[in-house]
């Protein structure tokens, strides 16, 4: 039995597929009301003797009043597990405060540095809490005594720690099973739709707006013999932008302080019937579609998602060439007579994106909001925006259950994802000094959105002055596999042989990787050189490498022409400095 698990911010879903029986995957009714969803909520209780532990999971925990004595209800566990990931934290901390919502802050009980909740003097790691939720879901599904193959999904913006947490969580559950893989949710949507014959070969933009996070990915589907090639050209996302943020803004706008699950249900009903009379909530509060529309326009939630789609599209166009439709790569990189690039990918607009994408696939409960579909239809046209209910009419509530269905159904041998620029990997810089001291720096590779300006520079590993040392840089994937290794090298500056006393990892938007070596005082280093570690990302195909090399050549020629133009201006002496003016 193959089991697909979708641990969501607001709900958890489970689906199964029997490879011997074949047929379609089956979403399991794990909700107490006969629904396919169980709330991802946990309640902790402090007993009279001082013991602290989990007292309720799912609907029982969700129904507990927030101010109940000696009880703490923890929601949105996945959000804080994702946002406390070091690379995601780095991304969030680098965002301008104008883009970061005021209500986006850690719960007082959560320690992001230790990735745990601290309650009444006891710590509960995030992995332990997620394990309790998934364990309850599998028990409700009646799967605890069966040999299982477990598969799980994760957002595209999740990095090493979250992915490995999920593998460790499943390994600790105690069921008779094994974890085969953890992969990205948007990829599973496309793979499931293609496997069921709902999509042809082409380019697809996945728009996943869930309860706690937003993801988007641009991928192409190709058929090579009997295997599907799913090439992911770009992805973007935000773990702090989801349906729960819409709920929170609505509650403040309406001055509603009742149970959050009732507001969420009322919001869903209003979205299903925008022209209706609205929904009544406790405390005499009424929610109408006008309230929803006003809030969405004021907070610009939808526009934020469109901006991330554009960022993903611009990243993709660095190395993606469409066979038909949209501006070809040659036009984007074409030079004029002066040797200057006429148009860059950073100048592409929404109509360019519309010309390059065959369909936009909508997933996630938040996409039920009509305004989202209307905004996307304005960009791509109504015939190319496809909701999950249209794509998977055979399943109930596919916008919620598709991840679990796809995880259980899509065989890995039929699904070969080829990442181009957002492969979830990291660079590990190992340092060993003559004194015996060893240091390690972990650098997320392609976690920050690309920009056409300065390259990404990691934190500094410092060495003692004049002390010999060796370094080794490796590129690892999310499963710990080594994609590239430099081997051990002497930490000496090549041009002069001096011992380096500071090392930094540097990579640019094309994936080229260097080691910055410095010698001398930190305020004014005497020597500063870059040593190439990796010229070409290890996951590139030969065609993509050719395109990248051409882009590098054009970029170098452009930079050289700019330097020459600057020098000509300096030597022209337009103001007559130094001349005798009589």
Q: Residue 141 contacts by C-beta under 8 Å, 6 or more apart in sequence? A: 3, 14, 16, 28, 30
pLDDT at 361: 92
Helix axes 185-195, 398-409, angle to 10 degrees: 80
CA atoms within 13 A on the CB side of 132: 20
Share of the chain above pLDDT 90, in %: 4
Of the pLDDT bands very low, low, confident and very high (cuts 50, 70, 90), residue 376 is very high
Q: Do 351 and 313 form a contact (C-beta atoms < 8 A)?
A: no
pLDDT tens digit string along 246-291? 888 888 888 888 777 788 788 878 887 888 888 888 888 888 888 8
Q: What count of other Cβ atoms lies within 10 Å of the Cβ of residue 451? A: 12
Homologous superfamily of 2-184 in CATH? ATPase, nucleotide binding domain (3.30.420.40)
Tell me: pLDDT of 472 over 70.
Answer: yes
Q: Which fold has domain 202-419?
A: Nucleotidyltransferase; domain 5 (3.30.420)
pLDDT tens digit string along 118-153? 988 899 988 889 888 988 988 888 887 777 777 888
Q: Picking from 120-134, 139-153, 374-388, 531-545, which range would have the lowest pLDDT averaged per residue? A: 531-545
Average pLDDT over residues 391-396: 82
pLDDT at 455: 63
Of the pLDDT bands very low, low, confident and very high (cuts 50, 70, 90), residue 85 is low
What is the distance between the alpha carbons of residues 529 and 535, in angstroms, rounded to a whole number? 16
Dihedral pair phi/psi, residue 55, rounded to 5°: -110, -20
Tell me: pLDDT of 220 over 50.
Answer: yes
Average pLDDT over residues 208-235: 80
pLDDT at 325: 45
What is the distance between the alpha carbons of residues 78 and 55, in angstroms, rounded to a whole number? 19
Tell me: pLDDT of 336 over 50.
Answer: no
Dihedral pair phi/psi, residue 521, rounded to 5°: -70, 150
Of the pLDDT bands very low, low, confident and very high (cuts 50, 70, 90), residue 551 is low
Beta strands 148-154; 2-7: pairing state: parallel
Beta strands 52-57; 11-17: pairing state: unpaired
Distances (CA, A) of 182 to 153, 162, 213: 5, 10, 18
Of 431 and 444, the one with more pLDDT: 431
What is the distance between the alpha carbons of residues 260 and 500, in angstroms, rounded to a whole number? 56
Beta bridge partners of 485: 474
What is the distance between the alpha carbons of residues 408 and 388, in angstroms, rounded to a whole number? 17
pLDDT at 92: 61
Tell me: pLDDT of 581 over 50.
Answer: no
What is the distance between the alpha carbons of residues 256 and 268, in angstroms, rounded to a whole number? 16
Q: Is 426 helix (H, G, I), strand (E, B) or coil?
A: strand
First to last CA, the chain: 96
- Name all contacts of 287-291 with Cβ < 8 Å and 24+ positions apart: 287/250, 287/254, 287/263, 291/250, 291/253, 291/254
Tell me: pLDDT of 543 over 60.
Answer: no
Give the CA radius of gyration of the chain.
Answer: 26
Q: Picking from 85-94, 211-220, 333-342, 401-410, which range would have the lowest pLDDT averaged per residue? A: 333-342
- What letter would DSSP give residue 486? -
Average pLDDT over residues 186-201: 84
Of 152 and 423, the one with more pLDDT: 152
Average pLDDT over residues 517-539: 76
Q: What count of other Cβ atoms lies within 10 Å of the Cβ of residue 56? A: 18
- In terms of average pLDDT, the best of 145-159, 218-232, 347-361, 518-532 is 347-361
Of the pLDDT bands very low, low, confident and very high (cuts 50, 70, 90), residue 42 is very high
Beta strands 469-477; 489-490: pairing state: antiparallel
What is the distance between the alpha carbons of residues 103 and 119, in angstroms, rounded to a whole number? 22
Tell me: pLDDT of 407 over 50.
Answer: yes
């Amino acid at each position: 039995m193959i089991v697909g698990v979708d641990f969501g911010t607001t709900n958890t879903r489970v689906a199964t597929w029997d490879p011997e029986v074949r047929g379609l995957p089956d979403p399991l009714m794990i909700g107490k009301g006969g629904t396919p969803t169980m709330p991802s909520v946990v309640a902790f209780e402090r007993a009279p003797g001082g013991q602290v532990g989990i007292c309720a999971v799912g609907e029982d925990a969700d129904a507990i009043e927030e101010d109940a004595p000696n009880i703490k209800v923890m929601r949105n566990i996945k959000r804080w597990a994702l946002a406390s990931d070091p690379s995601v934290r780095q991304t969030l901390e680098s965002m301008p405060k104008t883009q970061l919502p005021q209500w986006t802050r850690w719960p007082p009980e959560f320690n992001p540095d230790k990735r745990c909740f601290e309650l009444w003097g006891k710590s509960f790691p995030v992995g332990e809490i997620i394990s309790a939720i998934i364990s309850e879901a599998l028990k409700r599904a009646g799967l605890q005594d069966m040999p299982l193959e477990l598969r799980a999904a994760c957002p595209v913006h999740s990095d090493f720690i979250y992915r490995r947490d999920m593998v460790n969580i499943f390994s600790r559950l105690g069921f008779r099973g094994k974890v085969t893989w953890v992969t990205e949710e948007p990829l599973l949507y496309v793979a499931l739709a293609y496997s069921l014959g709902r999509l042809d070969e082409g380019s697809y933009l996945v728009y996943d707006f869930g309860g706690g996070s937003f993801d988007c990915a641009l991928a192409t589907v190709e058929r090579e013999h009997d295997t599907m090639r799913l090439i992911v050209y770009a992805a973007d996302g935000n773990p702090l932008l989801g349906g729960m943020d819409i709920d929170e803004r609505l509650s403040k706008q309406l001055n509603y302080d009742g149970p959050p699950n009732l507001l969420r249900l009322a919001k869903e009903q209003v979205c299903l019937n925008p022209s209706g009379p609205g929904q009544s909530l406790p405390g005499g509060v009424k929610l109408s579609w006008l309230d929803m529309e006003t809030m969405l326009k004021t907070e610009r939630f939808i526009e934020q998602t469109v901006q991330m789609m554009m960022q993903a599209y611009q990243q993709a166009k660095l190395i993606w060439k469409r066979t038909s439709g949209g501006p070809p790569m040659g036009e984007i990189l074409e030079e004029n007579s002066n040797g200057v690039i006429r148009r860059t990918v950073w100048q592409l607009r929404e109509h360019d994106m519309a010309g390059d994408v065959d369909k936009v696939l909508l997933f996630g409960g938040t996409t039920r909001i009509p305004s989202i579909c209307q905004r996307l239809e304005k960009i791509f046209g109504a015939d190319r925006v496809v909701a999950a209910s249209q794509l998977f009419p055979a399943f109930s509530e596919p916008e919620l259950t598709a991840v679990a269905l796809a995880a259980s159904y899509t065989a890995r041998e039929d699904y070969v994802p080829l990442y181009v620029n957002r492969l979830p990997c990291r660079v590990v810089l190992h340092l060993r000094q003559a004194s015996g001291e060893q240091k390690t720096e972990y650098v997320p590779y392609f976690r920050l959105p690309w920009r056409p300006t300065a390259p990404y520079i990691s934190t500094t590993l410092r060495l003692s002055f004049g002390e010999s040392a060796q370094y080794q840089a490796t590129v690892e994937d999310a499963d710990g596999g080594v994609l590239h290794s430099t081997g051990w090298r002497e930490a000496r500056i090549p041009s002069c042989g001096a011992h380096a006393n500071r090392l930094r990892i540097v990579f640019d938007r094309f994936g080229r990787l260097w080691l910055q070596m410095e010698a001398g005082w930190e305020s004014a280093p005497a020597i500063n050189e870059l040593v190439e570690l990796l010229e070409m990302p290890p996951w590139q195909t030969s065609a993509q490498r050719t395109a990248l090399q051409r882009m590098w050549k054009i970029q170098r020629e452009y930079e050289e022409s700019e330097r020459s133009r600057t020098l000509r201006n300096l030597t022209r002496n337009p103001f007559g400095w130094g001349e005798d003016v009589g």
